[in-house]
Amino acid sequence: MTAELTAPPRDIALGLRNLTTEFRTHDGPLRAVNQVTLDVYRGRALAIIGESGSGKSALLRSVLGLLPRSAKITGNVFLDGRDLLAVRRKEREAVRGSRIGMIFQDPLTALDPVFTIGRQLTETLRRHHRLREPAARSRALELLEAVRIPAPEHRFNAYPFELSGGMRQRVVIAMALAGEPEILLADEPTTALDATVQARVMALIASIQQERTMAMVIVTHDLAAASQVADDIAVMYAGRVIEQGPVADVIGSPAHPYTRGLLGANVQAGQTRPPAIIPGAPPNLARLPPGCSFAPRCAESKPACWTNGFPTARARSRTHWAACLNVPGPGGTR
């Protein structure tokens, strides 16, 4: 436990330790993010999956401190051994957009309708790199090219409404890349797009992440996309990460009954049998059950799951773990 609380080693781009975020609600404090400890590795992509309301967006926003003032965030967010939650607000703002880029869940509203995309990109470049014209313009054109926008010189003067959804999303990605971030946080970056465009934009994000060897955290509902884009997967349930590991391990041999449920509920191309929906609904995060928060929906639960507090993570291998009492795992607890 103490090892978990020290600053992480160098190959880790971003280290979250016991990150907890509570919102004040009429129902009392609501734990949207609950003691999340996870590492994001340099040059690797981590996909976060989980049902709606499991805390995926709240987790990414907590990393950047982009939450209402009433939200209480505790724990640590280590970037190069420095805890972003402990530094001054100004310092954290400087990290946002430069060292850590973010693509939001509702990206199409991320662009200002009254300015051309060229103007918005050059403004962002001025802010992060203190670039002046014409350097800002030529860098903006390079970024539009990097996100494969055809005829960037021509599109530079277009307003967002003149572009298709897919093209606008490429501009939003270009904006997130403007600060040359080492880490990209992407919250369902293709949800607002139609299916064929989704696949292309997802492929673009994956290739940019690899070309730039950025660390990336990508939230997605689409398990097929997660396995294409990501190296590692973290599964969230009721504010907690309940399983994490390399994609092949988590998808190929899921350890947590919830992960197995999610995989069963995911319809695959060509599938003929109906998806196996997980029975019940996620708990109210302001009224969490005392034991494992998945126990009320879990076909494999035993009495200890209801009473012994939330299960500690158990290692299946050096890199794959799950928080479930039923995981036998060779490595004992993490």
Query: Which residues make up the interface to Mg ion (CB under 5 A)?
Result: 56-57, 105
Q: Which stretch binds ligand ATP (CB under 6 A): 24-32, 119-127, 265-273, 298-306?
A: 24-32
Query: Does the footprint of ligand ATP cover residue 23 (CB under 6 A)?
Result: yes
Q: Give the number of C-alpha atoms closer than 13 A to the C-alpha of residue 65, restricted to the C-beta side.
A: 20
For the bound state, the minimum distance from the C-beta of residue 254 to ligand ATP, rounded and expressed in Å, comes to 19
CB of 283 to ligand ATP, least distance (A): 10
Nearer to ligand ATP, 286 or 325 (CB): 286
Dihedral sign computed on CA atoms, order 222, 224, 228, 234:
positive
Query: Where in 44-103 is the site for ligand ATP (CB under 6 A)?
Result: 50, 52-58, 68
Give 44 or 56: the residue with its C-beta nearer to Mg ion: 56
Tell which positions 260-299 bind ligand ATP, by CB under 6 A: 285
Is residue 327 within 8 A of residue 308, CB to CB? The reply is no
Selection from 175, 178, 18 nearest residue 103 by Cα:
175
Q: How far is the CB of 70 from ligand ATP (least distance, A)?
A: 8
Task: State how far the alpha carbon of 329 is from the alpha carbons of 232, 258, 309, 333, in Å.
Answer: 19, 17, 20, 8
d(CA 102, CA 124): 13
Q: CB-hemisphere CA count at 13 Å for 248? A: 2
Nearer to Mg ion, 57 or 220 (CB): 57
The pair of three-digit structure tokens given for residue 200, joined into one six-digit string: 């292309």
Asked if residue 25 binds ligand ATP (CB under 6 A), the reply is: yes
Indicate whether 30 belongs to the interface with ligand ATP (CB under 6 A): yes
CB of 107 to Mg ion, least distance (A): 12
Any residues with CB less than 8 A from the CB of 221 and at least 6 apart, and which? Answer: 49, 188, 191
Report d(CA 108, CA 169) in Å as an integer: 7
The residue among 72 and 132 lying less far from ligand ATP, judged by its C-beta, is 72
Residue 53: which of Mg ion, ligand ATP, none does it interact with, CB under 5 to 8 A by kind? Answer: ligand ATP
**Nearer Cβ to ligand ATP (35/317):** 35
Contact predicate 128/97, CB 8 Å: yes
* Closer residue to ligand ATP, CB minimum distance, 23 or 156: 23
**What residues line the site for ligand ATP (CB under 6 A)?**
23, 25, 30, 32, 50, 52-58, 68, 105, 285
